[in-house]
């Protein structure tokens, strides 16, 4: 590994970004997104209500209304200098795909006009046999369809001096098989919603929808473009395959949370600004453990939108890095002897009544709804650990797992000492005398001006592949290049199946005269 990955701090900055006054994030956030606020401005009342109903309750949009929506999108996009549109989808190649069409067309008399109708918004036709399909399609069976996903807002991608309207879509074959990551994810979200609502109604009849939320953490390496091009193995494989280790790696752990190198800082600010325009709510940036390794993370979002944003982020990072004479390495294990890169998937469930189903609150022992979903999540991972493991399996990620602080390749669940005790107490049918854990304060005998610190109900486990971290489960074993949709689809599906089995068991016990409150103790 002869590439000096610590050399970034010694290379002078090549951008004047630091001399510019940066506007507030709120002034640019979502400026390139056709969100509901923009839709309200450009759509008729009927079209706006239709798209809101589709997003919030899953109602299908009528094709007649779709033309009105398409006209509104075109008007907005043209006001931003857009001339082309594309159906943006996520085939099984590991990257995104797009085919650009212009708004320009000719009338029957040869008059040039700009046009975007509902049919073009709703569906397009890529070649289904030219994308990975697992043998479902013969080479001559070429027809496939991309279908508009109204729950993920269209956005404008800016490359050089050109701008294109991107419409998030699913991708299916002529015979209906899913050929992408989004279609199975949407199915799993709907399946889990129905199963979770049925269980929630044991406790709260007002719950009509349960949303899957996801907060990803993206780790990556940044190297100088010249050094990158000098290594054929990096260029071809995204990782080093030969050579000596660096003289200094991460022995002192001094890179972690250290001062961000000026050149990388300029790159971060640049790609973050592009992400804010696209509505990606980035919140965190910092040095990771290995030299030249960094991380960014957003605010939690609904899972489908979070997956789209992470996929888009990786593309934006790769493009923006070249502007700065840098290269982003997203490979799970680009260098020997040091940390690889993962993509921690923080997964939770929230109701339309504002309840996080995986938040214990101050009294988790008496919070039956939390305990129900908490235990079912553990059981789902226990029963389907092999499927969950397969969802994050890849050659580069398997090279990472189990090495240099990465989670082991064996799936297990960590819940912490306090919640372990809670479950043991319930198992032993302890009820009235169970101790509750209110907010714990950490008393510091250091200096009178240091405020008291609030303690969580458990320490944080950074090596468990599936750890409970206070109000969510953190699936830490996902690889840095992975599409989050794959592990999320599996996690949603196994949780839905477990909840369906749970409800069936509870319904049977209630019919036999059991009290609902006592059932969790079984």
Q: What is the mean pLDDT of the chain?
A: 89
Residues 6+ apart with CB under 8 A from 501: none
- pLDDT for the residue numbered 468: 94
Please give the Cα distance from 341 to 353 (Å, whole number): 36
- Please give the backbone phi and psi of residue 17, each rounded to the nearest 5 degrees, phi first: -55, -35
Token pair belonging to 95: 């990257």
Please give the Cα distance from 308 to 485 (Å, whole number): 9
Please give the Cα distance from 500 to 327 (Å, whole number): 46
Which range has the worst mean pLDDT, 171-175, 240-244, 364-368?
364-368
Whether residue 322 is predicted with pLDDT greater than 60 in this model: the reply is yes
Q: Which residue has the tokens 């504002």?
A: 354
- pLDDT for the residue numbered 72: 96
- pLDDT for the residue numbered 514: 80
Sign of the dihedral through C-alpha 384, 387, 391, 392: positive
N-terminal to C-terminal alpha carbon distance within the chain:
55
pTM over 0.95? The answer is no
Confidence of residue 249 (pLDDT cuts 50, 70, 90): confident
Whether residue 453 is predicted with pLDDT greater than 60 in this model: the reply is yes
| DSSP codes joined into one string, 131-152 | S--TT-S-TT--BEEEEE-TTS
Confidence of residue 513 (pLDDT cuts 50, 70, 90): confident
Token pair belonging to 378: 């553990």
**Which of the pair, 127 or 474, is modelled with greater confidence?**
474
For the chain, which domains are there?
33-79+90-179 (no CATH), 191-521 (3.30.590.10)
- pLDDT for the residue numbered 23: 76
Question: For the residues 499-514, what does the mean pLDDT come to?
Answer: 91
Question: For the residues 73-98, what does the mean pLDDT come to?
Answer: 96
- pLDDT for the residue numbered 434: 47
Q: Output Rg (C-alpha) for the chain, integer angstroms.
A: 25
What does each C-alpha distance from 398 to 190, 394, 401, 403, 511 come to in angstroms?
A: 30, 6, 5, 10, 47
Percentage of residues of the chain with pLDDT beyond 70: 89
Question: For the residues 323-330, what does the mean pLDDT come to?
Answer: 97
Q: Do 152 and 305 form a contact (C-beta atoms < 8 A)? A: yes
Relative to beta strand 343-351, strand 473-475 is antiparallel
Confidence of residue 8 (pLDDT cuts 50, 70, 90): low
Confidence of residue 428 (pLDDT cuts 50, 70, 90): confident
- pLDDT for the residue numbered 21: 64
- pLDDT for the residue numbered 251: 81
- pLDDT for the residue numbered 239: 94
Whether residue 441 is predicted with pLDDT greater than 80 in this model: the reply is no
Relative to beta strand 144-148, strand 162-173 is antiparallel
Question: For the residues 377-384, what does the mean pLDDT come to?
Answer: 97
Find residue 468's DSSP bridge partners. 473
- pLDDT for the residue numbered 448: 65
Please give the Cα distance from 167 to 123 (Å, whole number): 10
> ∠ CA 5-7-12 to the nearest 5 degrees?
140
Question: For the residues 271-286, what does the mean pLDDT come to?
Answer: 96
Q: Which residue has the tokens 């199946």?
A: 497
Sign of the dihedral through C-alpha 233, 257, 322, 223: negative
Q: Do 68 and 44 form a contact (C-beta atoms < 8 A)? A: yes
Please give the Cα distance from 425 to 3 (Å, whole number): 54
CB atoms within 10 A of CB 241: 12
- pLDDT for the residue numbered 15: 45
Q: Which residue has the tokens 């940044």?
A: 222
Which range has the worst mean pLDDT, 368-372, 383-387, 491-495?
368-372
Whether residue 328 is predicted with pLDDT greater than 50 in this model: the reply is yes
Find residue 224's DSSP bridge partners. 326
Q: Could you tell me where the beta strands, DSSP code E, fall in 57-209?
A: 84-88, 100-102, 104-106, 112-114, 123-124, 144-148, 155-159, 162-173
Confidence of residue 16 (pLDDT cuts 50, 70, 90): very low
Please give the Cα distance from 98 to 395 (Å, whole number): 27
Whether residue 398 is predicted with pLDDT greater than 60 in this model: the reply is yes
């Amino acid at each position: 590994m002869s590439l000096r990955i610590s050399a970034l701090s010694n290379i002078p900055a090549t951008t004047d970004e630091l001399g510019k006054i940066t506007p507030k994030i709120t002034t640019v956030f979502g400026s390139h997104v056709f969100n509901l606020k923009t839709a309200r401005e450009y759509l008729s009342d009927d079209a706006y209500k239709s798209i809101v109903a589709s997003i919030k309750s899953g109602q299908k949009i009528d094709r007649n209304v779709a033309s009105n929506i398409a006209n509104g999108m075109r008007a907005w996009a043209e006001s931003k200098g857009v001339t082309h549109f594309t159906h943006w989808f996520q085939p099984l190649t590991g990257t995104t795909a797009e085919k650009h069409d212009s708004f320009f067309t000719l009338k029957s008399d040869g008059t040039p006009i700009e046009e975007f109708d509902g049919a073009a918004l709703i569906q397009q036709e890529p070649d289904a046999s030219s994308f990975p399909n697992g043998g479902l399609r013969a080479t001559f069976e070429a027809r496939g369809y991309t279908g508009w996903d109204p729950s993920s807002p269209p956005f404008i991608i800016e490359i050089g001096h050109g701008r294109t309207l991107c419409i998030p879509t699913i991708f299916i074959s002529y015979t209906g098989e899913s050929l992408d990551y989004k279609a199975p994810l949407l199915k799993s979200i709907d399946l889990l919603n129905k199963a979770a609502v049925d269980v929630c109604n044991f406790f709260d009849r007002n719950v009509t929808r349960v949303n899957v939320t996801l907060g990803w953490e993206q780790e990556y390496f940044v190297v100088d473009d010249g050094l990158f091009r000098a290594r054929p193995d990096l260029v071809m494989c995204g990782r080093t395959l030969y050579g000596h280790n660096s003289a200094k790696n991460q022995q002192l752990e001094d890179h972690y949370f250290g001062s961000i190198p000026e050149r990388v800082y300029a790159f971060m600010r640049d790609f973050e600004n592009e992400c804010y325009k696209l509505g990606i709510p980035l919140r965190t940036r910092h040095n990771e453990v290995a030299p030249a390794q960094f991380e960014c993370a957003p605010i939690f979002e609904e899972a489908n939108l979070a997956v789209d944003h992470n996929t888009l982020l990786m593309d934006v990072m790769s493009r923006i890095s070249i502007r700065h004479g840098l290269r982003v390495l997203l490979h799970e294990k680009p260098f020997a002897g040091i940390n690889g890169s993962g993509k921690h998937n923080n997964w939770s469930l929230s109701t339309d009544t504002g309840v996080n189903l995986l938040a214990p609150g101050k009294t988790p022992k008496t919070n039956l709804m939390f305990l129900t979903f908490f235990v079912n999540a553990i059981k789902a991972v226990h029963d389907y650990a092999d499927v969950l493991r397969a969802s994050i399996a890849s050659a580069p990620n398997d090279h990472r797992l189990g090495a240099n602080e990465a989670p082991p390749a064996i799936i297990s669940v960590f819940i912490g000492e306090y919640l372990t005790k809670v479950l043991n107490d319930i198992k032993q049918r302890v009820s009235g005398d169970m101790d509750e854990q209110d907010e714990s304060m950490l008393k510091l005998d250091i200096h009178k001006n240091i405020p008291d610190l609030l303690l969580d109900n458990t320490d944080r486990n950074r090596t468990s592949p599936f750890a409970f971290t206070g109000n969510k489960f953190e699936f830490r074993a996902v690889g840095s290049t992975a599409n989050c949709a794959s592990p999320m689809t599996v996690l949603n599906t196994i949780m839905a199946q477990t909840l369906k089995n749970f409800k069936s068991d509870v319904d049977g016990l209630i019919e036999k005269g059991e009290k609902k409150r006592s059932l969790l103790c079984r």
